[in-house]
Chains A and B, each alone.
Chain A
Amino acid sequence: MSDNKTSELGNVEPTPGSTKQDPILTIDDVVRSFGGLRAVDVKHLEVQRGTITAFIGPNGAGKTTLFNLITGFDKPDSGKWKFHQLANAKSWTTDLSGLRPHQIANKGMVRTFQLTKSLAKMTVIDNMLLGAAEQKGESLRNALLPSRWRQQEKTILEKAEILLERFKLSHMRDEYAATLSGGQRKLLEMARALMSEPKLILLDEPMAGVNPVLVESLLVHIQNLRDEGVSVLFIEHDMDAIMGISDWIVVLAEGRVIAEGTPSDVSKNPAVIDAYLGSAIAEELKDV
């Protein structure tokens, strides 16, 4: 954790909505209600570039809804959020609000899902190849002219093989994704998301339903991503995992950001203890 990006976080105030030195994502006044109930109501939130940021909170805190909103899978009642593609260059930002999911993904912000969406009736390698961005052969103009995309396909294939190797899925290369175990599917989905070389990857409960042995390797993968310069934003319930790998934690309750800070800040924060009081997670927090 000697990375200078993460050390920058040491100077950030652990208060909700605090300003980061080099944010990759800033969210302003995003509200989403379901039948009068405010599922998400985030005043201001910044996500620091090059770090692993975790969203935690009790069930129904609005974590997944917030994910859905900022990736375009759901529409907010109001609010704006911006994506800063380049480090320390506030001018090179994109307003993501109102964009559709594929447009947001193409900006370099790719997500995974809580319930894995591995494409069951496609092979593992086809799943991977699909992940790559800006493929010439994906346009109808070129599809019937293999000469136009064969070269790129080869490059993508090599990249896919490397990623599969890294995620220990090479032996399943030509199997249908349906044959993978739950944990392997999580790995495949993450690897597939990486095919497009995202700047920010959003993982929705990557550890849920994964056996403990795989969890270890998943955590290593996530940390490796950060070390390679990919920013990671993830939702998780497994407190040990969160405390172990997160650089920054954002606590949500009833749709609002009630606290944020480093793992040690958060575990001492009385507001967090309050929000979790009585819940199992509170017990775990006290132990940390």
Chain B
Amino acid sequence: MLMNLFAEIDISKLFGLAIRTSIGVQAATFALAAVGLNLHYGYTGLLNFGVVAFMAAGAYGMAIFFTQGWLGGSIILAIASGLTFAVIIALSIGLPSLRLRADYLALTTIAIAEVLRISFRSQRLLDLTGGPFGLPSIEDRNASVSFADVITIDWNPIGKGSYGTWFLEFDEKTLWIMIIGWSLVSLASLLIWGLMRSPWGRVIKAIREDEDAARALGKNVFSYKLQSLIIGGVIASFAGIVRAFDMGFVETQQFRPQTTFFIWTVLILGGAASIWGPIIGSMTFWFIIIFSEELLRQMVDSGWIPEAILESSDIASVRMVLMGIMLAVLMIWRPQGLVGKKEEAQIDVR
């Protein structure tokens, strides 16, 4: 029986798809957002449940400025506007709420992220944000015109064509965005590494451990937290921008709270408070997700799993179930994740 099963499973496809996704743009953007969250939560101890707010700010800021043709319709200035918007979000989250207790901060951040998303989605903002339909407009999308074109076509140094073999074959657009995404991940990780080995990073870690101790030693805790929120927020907003370039459009559906918790899972899986954690976490996360999905799909298709238990149309939901299980199980049995230090992993922010 078991032999039969193996005979029907396409192992090459199973691994091929899983590896493809784990090095793909999605993994890069999740890693990037997780690098930002790592600074917030892993190092500073800020319980930011509003990661998507920063991603949305970056993506929408860029998309709005570009599609409206403000600032001369320059994509670079549009990106800069997205980042500025992220800084404004960081300030308006941070200034009032950084004094709150950890769990209150969590509620405030998730609420602010939702306020932002619902506002973007509002039909009254249709002209600016495209409301529920996002940007670019339906007409543009039907005509295959997007703000991503400048990056993916005009500025793409890679010649038209298909690169790689097996399941790892990418067209020039995807490859280019992958390169941009992973470069940004490396740069951001390098930045965090540099910061965390400096005396600045020492203060940040001390704040995670005990704010009052840091205060008693003359450190301006509030200011450090705000700096952390801004730097991590800008990194996360880059993730939103890269994702927008990859997909070619922005839509509020991309910024639901569940995306925040995807990124939390990535971070905790890899290991909070470690430089490699977000990267390893994101790659492993996507590998596990796609591998399990594909395995289930093949098992359902070959009749190994009866329809009564799982229909093939439900497989996409399995991803979320897996994420839920991963988050809970990791938190209980391996809070340090794959590469984090056990000693630094127990979380006891107040």
Contact = CB atoms under 8 A, between A and B. Distances in A.
Does A touch B (CB under 8 Å) in the complex?
yes
Interface of A: 71-73, 100-103, 105-106, 110-113, 117-122, 126, 129-131, 133, 135-140, 142-144, 146, 149, 153, 176, 178, 192-193, 196
A102 B343 contact: no
B205 A119 contact: yes
Nearest to A152: B199
A144 B198 contact: yes
B199 to A, nearest CB: 3
B172 interface: no
Given A129-B202, A144-B194, A111 B209 contact: no
Given A129-B199, A140-B200, 11 more contacts: A71-B216, A73-B215, A101-B212, A103-B218, A105-B218, A106-B218, A119-B206, A121-B205, A122-B202, A130-B206, A130-B219
A117 B200 CA distance: 20
A102 B220 contact: yes
Contact of A111 (B191, B210, B216, B343): B216
A178 B210 CA distance: 13
B221 A117 contact: no
A176 to B, nearest CB: 5
Given A120-B209, A122-B205, A137 B199 contact: yes
A117 B199 contact: no
Nearest to B341: A121
A105 B202 CA distance: 18
A72 B200 CA distance: 23
- Measured as residues with beta carbon below 8 angstroms from the partner, the interface class of chain B is 20 to 34
10 contacts: A102-B214, A105-B218, A110-B216, A121-B344, A122-B206, A137-B198, A143-B198, A144-B195, A178-B343, A196-B217
By CB atoms of chain A within 10 A, which of B200, B221, B227 has the most?
Answer: B200
A231 B20 CA distance: 66
A130 B202 contact: yes
B100 interface: no
A106 B221 CA distance: 13
Contacts of B210: 117, 119
B254 to A, nearest CB: 31
B213 interface: yes
Given A102-B221, A121-B209, A112 B216 contact: yes
Nearest to B213: A117
Nearest to A137: B199
Contacts of A143: 194-195, 198-201
Contacts of B217: 102, 105, 110, 130-131, 192-193, 196
A71 B194 CA distance: 33
Nearest to B203: A138
Interface string B222-240: 0000010000000000000
Given A140-B200, A149-B199, A119 B221 contact: no
Contacts of A192: 217
B57 to A, nearest CB: 21
Given A137-B200, A140-B227, A101 B205 contact: no
A138 B219 contact: yes
Interface in B164-196: 191, 194-195
A110 B214 CA distance: 11
Interface string B1-36: 000000000000000000000000000000000000
